[in-house]
Amino acid sequence: MNKQIQAVIFDWAGTTIDYGCFAPVQVFIAIFRKRNVEITNDEAREPMGLLKIDHIRAILSMERVHQTWVEAHGEAPGEEDIQELYHDFEKMLFRILDEFAQPIPGVIDVVNTLKDSGIKIGSTTGYTSDMIDIISKEAKKQGYVPDAVVTSSDVPAGRPAPWMCYQNAMKLNVYPLSQMVKAGDTASDMEEGRNAGMWTVGIVKGSSTLGFLQEEIEEMDKALLHTRIEDAKQTLFDSGAHFVIEEIHELPSLIQTMNQMMNKEESFHV
C-alpha cells in the first residue's frame, strides 16, 4: 500500500501569520513592565507556543525573572499574580490581535498547492479560541483558511501535549498520525508533533525562534543572518524536528521526500 502524507497541521503566529510572532511578545514585556519587572525579548519568546497562561508561568520560573520579581515585590510570585498578569495579557492582546493576522509571504500559495494535491490543512495554537476567532476572521479576509482549527482551550492541555494534533486528526478524519505533518516555528511545536507521533518540521524565517521582522532579515548583514538562521535551526532540531526548512515554500517538495522515505523497502518510521 502506497503511503502518502495526508494532512499538514500548521501553527499560527510565527508560522502562517504574524511574521516574527510579535503580537504576544510585546504584550508579555508590557505586562511585566507594568509590575516593575523588565523582561528581555528572548525571555518573552523562550516559552512561545505554550498556552498563554502557561507561558506566563514559564517566564516567572526563569531564575533571573523570578529574582527580579522578588526584588521588586518583596516576595515570590503566586497564583494570584499569575492570574492578574494573564488578565492584563488578554486585555492588551485583544486590542491588537486583528493587526497581526497578515499571512506570512508564501503561506497562501503553499496551502493552495497542498490542498490541490489532496492534503488537508489543520492548525494548532497557543492562543485561546476567543483569540484565534479574531485572527482567523482577519486571515480569512486575506485568503488563509485552514480546514480545521484547534486551540489550547479546546483540549485538556496545550503544548507540548499532543491533544490538539489528535483533535485535528479527528476533525480532518485522517489517520494514522504517522502520515501527518506538524509544521511550526517553536520548540513546543516540535515537541507537540513528536508527542503526537507525526512528522515534525520547523520553519525558520518568520518564526519566533529567529525573531526578526521580514524587513530586518532583508537588511541584516549576510554573515550575521546566516549565523542566526543556523542557531534557530539547531534549536528546532534539538527540540525534536525531523526536518527544518528556512522558508515555507520548501514544504511541498519536502513532503514529496517524506512520501519517498515512507515507501522505501526499509521503511522509515516517524
3-state SS of the chain: helix, strand, coil percent to 5? 55, 10, 40
| Nearest in space to 9 (alpha carbons), one of 137, 158, 190, 153 | 190
Set of cell numbers at residue 125? 495554537
Whose cell is 512561545? That residue is 48
Q: Which residue, among 202, 7, 37, has the nearest Cα to 121 in the 3D structure?
A: 7
Which residue among 52, 120, 205, 233 is the active-site one? Answer: 52
Q: φ, ψ for residue 122 (rounded to 5)?
A: -110, 180
Return the SS3 of 93.
Answer: helix
Locate cell 504576544: which residue? Answer: 24
Q: Helices 251-262 & 107-116, crossing angle to 10 degrees?
A: 40
Out of 11, 18, 54, 189, which one is annotated catalytic? 11
Neighbours of 133 (CB within 10 A): 14
Is 52 annotated as catalytic?
yes
Query: Does 11 count as an annotated binding residue?
Result: yes
Copy the grid coordinates of residue 8: 499538514
Joined together, the cell numbers standing for residue 60 give 516567572
Helices (H), ranges, the chain: 23-33, 41-45, 52-60, 63-73, 79-96, 107-116, 129-141, 163-172, 187-195, 214-219, 222-238, 251-262
Question: Is 147 annotated as a binding-site member?
Answer: no
Which residues carry out catalysis? Answer: 11, 52
Q: Which residues are annotated as a binding site for Mg(2+)?
A: 11, 13, 185
Q: Which residues are annotated as a binding site?
A: 11, 13, 185
